[in-house]
Amino acid sequence: MEEVNAGGLVAVMARDKERRPVLRVVDPEVAALAENVRCSAGRFYWSWGEEMAPAGEKGEAARLLRKVLRGSAAGS
The larger pLDDT score, comparing residue 38 to residue 4, is at 38
pLDDT at 74 over 60: no
pLDDT digits (tens, 9 = 90+) for 22-44: 999 999 888 788 999 999 999 99
Q: What is the C-alpha separation between 31 and 20, in angstroms, rounded?
A: 22
Q: What is the pLDDT of residue 48?
A: 94
Compute the half-sphere exposure of residue 43: CA atoms within 13 Å on the CB side of its CA: 9
Question: Can you give the pLDDT at residue 31?
Answer: 78
Work out the mean pLDDT of the chain and round it to a whole number.
87
